[in-house]
Amino acid sequence: MSDYSLLILPGDGIGPEVMAEVRKVIGWFQTNRGMRFDVSEDLVGGAAYDKHGKPLADETMAKAQQVDAVLLGAVGGPKYDNLDFSLKPERGLLRLRKEMDLYANLRPAQCFDALADFSSLKRNIVAGLDILIVRELTSGVYFGEPRGIHDDNNNPENEGGRVGINTQRYTSGEIRRVARAAFELAKKRGNKVCSMEKANVMESGILWREEVQWVHDNEFPDVELSHMYADNGAMQLVRNPRQFDVIVTDNLFGDILSDAAAMLTGSLGMLPSASLGAPMDNGRPKALYEPVHGSAPDIAGQGKANPIACILSFAMALRYSFNEGQAADDLEKAVEKVLADGVRTADLMGPEGGTPVSTSEMGDKITEA
| Positions at the binding site for Mg(2+) | 231, 255, 259
The one segment of 219-227, 257-265, 288-296, 310-318 that binds Mg ion by CB under 5 A: 288-296
Q: How long a stretch of residues is the chain?
A: 369
> Binding site: what residues are annotated?
77-90, 97, 107, 135, 231, 255, 259, 294-306
The contacts of residue 268 (CB under 8 Å, 6+ apart) are 262, 292, 293, 309, 347
Does residue number 268 form part of the binding site for ligand ATP (CB under 6 A)? yes
281 is catalytic: no
Considering CB distances under 5 to 8 angstroms, the limit depending on partner class, which of ligand ATP, Mg ion, none binds residue 305? ligand ATP
255 is catalytic: yes
Buried b (16+ CB within 10 A) or exposed e, 244-273: bbbbbbbbbbbbebbebbbbbbbbbbbbbb
365 is catalytic: no
We find the least distance from the C-beta atom of residue 294 to Mg ion, in angstroms, to be 5
Query: Given the complex with Mg ion, which of 55 and 294 has the nearer CB atom?
Result: 294
Q: Which of 76, 205, 241, 363 binds ligand ATP (CB under 6 A)?
A: 76
Query: Given the complex with ligand ATP, which of 183 and 289 has the nearer CB atom?
Result: 289
Q: How far apart are CA 277 and CA 294, in angstroms?
A: 22
Does residue number 89 form part of the binding site for ligand ATP (CB under 6 A)? no
Q: How far apart are CA 348 and CA 304, in angstroms?
A: 11
- 259, 329, 333, 341: the catalytic one is 259
Considering CB distances under 5 to 8 angstroms, the limit depending on partner class, which of ligand ATP, Mg ion, none binds residue 311? none
Considering CB distances under 5 to 8 angstroms, the limit depending on partner class, which of Mg ion, ligand ATP, none binds residue 140? none
Give how far Cα 307 sits from Cα of 17, 118, 347, Å. 8, 17, 11
231 is catalytic: yes
The one segment of 114-122, 220-228, 290-298, 357-365 that binds Mg ion by CB under 5 A: 290-298
Scan residues 7-46 and list those touching ligand ATP (CB under 6 A): 14
The full DSSP string for 89-121 is: HHHHHHHHHHHTT--EEEEEEE--GGGGGGSSS
The contacts of residue 145 (CB under 8 Å, 6+ apart) are 167, 169
- 113, 117, 152, 255: the catalytic one is 255
Q: How far apart are CA 178 and CA 98, in angstroms?
A: 15
Q: How far apart are CA 83 and CA 91, in angstroms?
A: 11
> Binding site for NAD(+): what residues are annotated?
77-90, 294-306
- 4, 12, 198, 365: the catalytic one is 198
259 is catalytic: yes
In 3D space, the residue among 300, 225, 299, 247 whose CA is nearest the CA of residue 107 turns out to be 247
Binding site for Mg ion (CB under 5 A): 294
Binding site for ligand ATP (CB under 6 A): 14, 76, 268-269, 293-296, 298-299, 305-306, 309, 347
